[in-house]
């Protein structure tokens, strides 16, 4: 593994940006391989032709070049200049055709005349070129040469993941997608945040949960991952986040709840929002979104939300060439890493714990958690050695009372009107004294 620091994110971005990714093929593998320089990713592939739930795994798309040449013999657009110029998954073509016949194969954005749109056609054979509307308007009549040098190859859909183990086998899934060509906010910001979180979490002094990091092409990639691992996830998944569009200009983060709506991460984010107005909440919807649509499909109904900064569809550069590094901003990517790490630290103590001595109160003075003397002088003490207005003692008693293996500590914090962070030292004290243990995920 290469040594990582957040300062490297800009450089890693620059290496990833030019690659022509798709939901399969060499560009995807090259991108995954690049992440594998800093993360111990394990690679998996589901072969073309496999039935994955209701979906066929497509043949790989190999694109070598594409150029549209005008009547004057000069190139109108060339894939070599900008990989968005070719429709992603375009079939090969080598034809001379009139402007009129060409028009159904051209894509441009009248409202953004300088932008090159991003167009895909994965499951129906089609070809086309994407170009600025300003340029399209000036195309003269005449014969055009449309040439796309692509190939459909038997191969498969790739994805890659790794696990940072924790004290429990219960897992938090952090996933992002890697299948868009040269776009920044809606593509590379998510995987870069994932990489940053991997390194933060790996350096935590302890982890109650295990953390799984997953990179996959969107939709078909998460379906392939699910087809291989859904039984495992059913057993261990305590929560998940799909990371997407995390580098845009918005100040705070935006959370789309899981379909359950009251999973552990749902509850923790709701708690964070009550103390930080920069967050916003999107209720679950199956109408649009990213891979949480698959994780939250009714058969799985996994507690997986989606976290974004400047979500898809809510900015002009969405799915076109304006979504570049300048729009995205590496500093926002780093800020997103900070904020999501904060949420995950709260997730560590927000779940369901069990009091290991639940029959009667534990004899707390034995652990220096209660004053041994009962007098007017000790009424404000948490222990013989701690005169703190009973702040700690009251939280110790509350946590022990709640730790019944059914209720989340984040709910206790909400009930007490305190920040969940304040419970962290209490939880650690009780764990150290073996009075409490994380009992299971709170889904």
The residue ranges that bind a copy of itself (CB under 8 A) are 52-56, 107, 109, 117-124, 126, 219, 222-223, 226, 230, 259, 285-287, 293-294, 296-301, 319-320, 355, 357-363, 365-366, 372-377, 384, 390, 393-394, 397-398, 400-405
Listed in sequence order, the residues at least 6 apart from 8 whose beta carbon sits closer than 8 Å to its beta carbon are 38
Query: What span, in angstroms and rounded, lies between the C-alpha atoms of 411 and 268?
Result: 9
**CB 137 → a copy of itself: shortest distance, Å?**
17
* Spatial CA neighbour of 84 closest among 379, 240, 318: 318
CB of 113 to a copy of itself, least distance (A): 13
- Which residue, 60 or 292, is less far from a copy of itself as judged by CB? 292
DSSP lists the bridge partners of residue 67 as: 78, 147
Those residues with Cβ within 8 angstroms of residue 114's Cβ, 6 or more apart along the chain or in another chain: 132, 133, 134, 322
Beta carbon nearer to a copy of itself, 259 or 267: 259
For the bound state, the minimum distance from the C-beta of residue 199 to a copy of itself, rounded and expressed in Å, comes to 31
Distance CA 308, CA 293 (A): 15
Nearer to a copy of itself, 278 or 372 (CB): 372
Q: Nearest 5°: phi and psi at 144?
A: -115, 150
Burial of 115 per CB tally in 10 Å (0-12, 13-18, 19+): buried
Closest CB to a copy of itself among 4 and 55? 55
Decide: 422 and 345 in contact? Cβ < 8 Å.
no
Q: Which residue number, 296 or 381, has a Cβ lying nearer to a copy of itself?
A: 296
Contacts of residue 314, defined as CB under 8 A and 6 or more positions apart, other chains included, come to none
Are 132 and 320 a contacting pair, CB within 8 Å?
no
Q: How far is the CB of 352 from a copy of itself (least distance, A)?
A: 12
Nearer to a copy of itself, 192 or 399 (CB): 399
- Decide: 236 and 301 in contact? Cβ < 8 Å: no
Kindly state the smallest distance separating residue 54's Cβ from a copy of itself, in Å.
Answer: 4
Q: Helices (DSSP H) in 21-122: which residue ranges?
A: 26-35, 99-102
CB of 310 to a copy of itself, least distance (A): 18
Identify which of residues 13 and 284 has a Cβ nearer to a copy of itself in the complex.
Answer: 284
CB burial class (10 A; 0-12, 13-18, 19+) of residue 344? buried
Minimum distance of a copy of itself from residue 133's CB (angstroms): 11
Q: What is the nearest approach in angstroms of a copy of itself to the Cβ of residue 73? A: 29
Tokens of 142: 């005449």
Rank residues 12 and 146 by Cβ distance to a copy of itself and give the closer one: 146
């Amino acid at each position: 593994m290469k040594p990582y620091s957040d300062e490297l994110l800009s450089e890693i971005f620059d290496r990833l940006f030019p690659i022509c990714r798709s939901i399969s093929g060499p560009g995807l593998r090259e991108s995954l391989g690049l992440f594998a320089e800093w993360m111990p990713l394990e690679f998996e592939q589901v072969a073309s032709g496999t039935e994955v739930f209701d979906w066929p795994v497509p043949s790989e798309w190999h694109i070598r070049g594409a150029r549209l040449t005008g009547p004057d013999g000069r190139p109108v657009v060339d894939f070599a200049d900008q990989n968005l110029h070719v429709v992603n998954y375009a079939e090969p073509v080598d034809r001379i055709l009139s402007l009129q016949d060409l028009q159904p194969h051209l894509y441009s954005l009248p409202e953004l005349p300088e932008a090159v749109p991003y167009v895909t056609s994965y499951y129906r054979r089609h070809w086309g070129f994407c170009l600025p509307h300003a340029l399209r308007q000036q195309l003269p009549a005449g014969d055009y040469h449309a040439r796309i040098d692509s190939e459909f190859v038997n191969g498969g859909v790739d994805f890659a993941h790794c696990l940072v183990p924790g004290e429990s086998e219960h897992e938090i899934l952090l996933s992002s997608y890697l299948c868009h060509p040269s776009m920044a906010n809606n593509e590379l910001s998510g995987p870069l945040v994932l990489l940053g979180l991997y390194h933060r979490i790996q350096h935590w002094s302890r982890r109650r949960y295990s953390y799984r990091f997953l990179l996959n092409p969107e939709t078909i990639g998460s379906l392939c991952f699910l087809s291989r691992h859904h039984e495992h996830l059913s057993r261990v998944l305590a929560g998940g986040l799909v990371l997407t569009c995390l580098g845009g200009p918005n100040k705070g983060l935006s959370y789309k709840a899981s379909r359950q709506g009251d999973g552990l991460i749902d509850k923790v984010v709701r708690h964070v929002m009550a103390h930080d107005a920069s967050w916003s909440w999107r209720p679950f919807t199956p109408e649009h979104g990213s891979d949480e649509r698959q994780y939250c499909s009714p058969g799985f109904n996994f507690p997986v939300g989606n976290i974004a900064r400047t979500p898809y569809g809510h900015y002009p550069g969405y799915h076109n060439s304006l979504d570049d590094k300048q729009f995205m901003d590496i500093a926002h990517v780093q800020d997103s890493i900070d904020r999501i790490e904060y949420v995950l630290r709260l997730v560590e103590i927000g779940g369901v714990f069990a009091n290991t001595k639940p029959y009667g109160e534990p004899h707390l003075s034995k652990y220096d958690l209660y004053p041994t003397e009962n007098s007017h002088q000790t009424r404000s003490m948490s222990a013989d050695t701690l005169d703190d207005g009973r702040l700690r003692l009251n939280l110790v008693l509350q946590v022990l009372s709640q730790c019944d293996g059914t209720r989340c500590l984040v709910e206790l914090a909400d009930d007490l009107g305190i920040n969940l962070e304040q419970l962290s030292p209490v939880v650690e004290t009780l764990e150290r004294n073996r009075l409490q243990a994380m009992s299971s995920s709170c889904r």
